[in-house]
Amino acid sequence: MLDYQTAGESHGPALVATVSGMPAGVHVDLEFINAELARRQGGYGRGGRQKIEQDAVQVLSGVRRGRTIGSPVTLMIPNRDARLDDPVKTPPVHRPRPGHADLAGSVKYLTTDCRETLERASARETAARTAAGALARCLLRAFEIESFAFVRSIGPESTDQAVTPANWRELRAARDASDVYCPDPEASARMREQVHAAKVEKDTVGGLVECHVFNVPIGIGSTMDWRDKLDARLAYAAMSIQAIKAVEIGLGKEAAVRRGSQVHDPVIFDAAQRGTPSLGFSRPTNNAGGTEGGMSNGQPIVVRAAMKPISTLLRGLPSVNLLSMQAEKSEYERSDICAVPAASVVLENVVAFEVARALLLKFGGDSLAETASNYDRFLEMARCLPNAPWTHTLA
**CA-CA distance, 395 to 392, in Å (whole number)?**
9
pLDDT, tens digit, for every residue of 65-124?
A: 999 999 999 999 999 888 888 888 889 999 999 999 999 999 999 999 999 899 999 999
pLDDT, tens digit, for every residue of 30-75?
A: 999 999 999 999 999 886 666 667 899 999 999 999 999 999 999 9
Which residues touch 392 (CB under 8 Å, ≥6 apart)? none
**CA-CA distance, 289 to 251, in Å (whole number)?**
7
Q: Cβ-count burial of 61 within 10 angstroms (0-12 exposed, 13-18 middle, 19+ buried)? A: middle
> Taking a C-beta distance cutoff of 8 angstroms, is the pair 296, 230 a contact?
yes
**CA-CA distance, 345 to 232, in Å (whole number)?**
20
> Taking a C-beta distance cutoff of 8 angstroms, is the pair 32, 387 a contact?
no
- pLDDT at residue number 382: 93
- pLDDT at residue number 50: 64
Q: Is the pLDDT of residue 340 over 50?
A: yes
pLDDT, tens digit, for every residue of 229-249?
A: 999 999 999 999 999 999 999
Q: What is the mean pLDDT of residues 301-321?
A: 92
- pLDDT at residue number 46: 80
The CATH code of domain 3-382 reads: 3.60.150.10
For the chain, what are the domain ranges?
3-382
Side-chain-side CA neighbours of 91 within 13 Å: the count stands at 8
- pLDDT at residue number 386: 79
In degrees to the nearest 10, what's the CA dihedral of 340, 234, 237, 215?
A: -70
**CA-CA distance, 194 to 192, in Å (whole number)?**
5
Comparing CA positions, the residue from 8, 1, 28, 22 lying closest to residue 233 is: 1
Q: Which residue has the higher pLDDT, 30 or 311?
A: 30
Q: Which residue has the higher pLDDT, 85 or 21?
A: 21
| Cross-strand bridge partners of residue 367 | 24
**CA-CA distance, 75 to 145, in Å (whole number)?**
23
- pLDDT at residue number 391: 63
pLDDT, tens digit, for every residue of 168-217?
A: 999 999 999 999 999 999 999 999 999 999 999 999 999 999 999 999 99
Q: Is the pTM of this model over 0.85?
A: yes
**CA-CA distance, 242 to 310, in Å (whole number)?**
9
pLDDT, tens digit, for every residue of 123-172?
A: 999 999 999 999 999 999 999 999 999 999 999 999 999 999 999 999 99
Q: Is the pLDDT of residue 395 over 60?
A: no
CA distances from 283 to 77, 96, 149, 243, 291 (A): 42, 50, 22, 34, 12
- pLDDT at residue number 334: 67
- pLDDT at residue number 80: 87
In degrees to the nearest 10, what's the CA dihedral of 63, 66, 67, 73?
A: 30
Q: What is the mean pLDDT of residues 267-284?
A: 93
- pLDDT at residue number 336: 87
> Taking a C-beta distance cutoff of 8 angstroms, is the pair 150, 175 a contact?
yes
In this structure, the strands spanning 146-154 and 58-61 are unpaired
pLDDT, tens digit, for every residue of 193-207?
A: 999 999 999 999 999
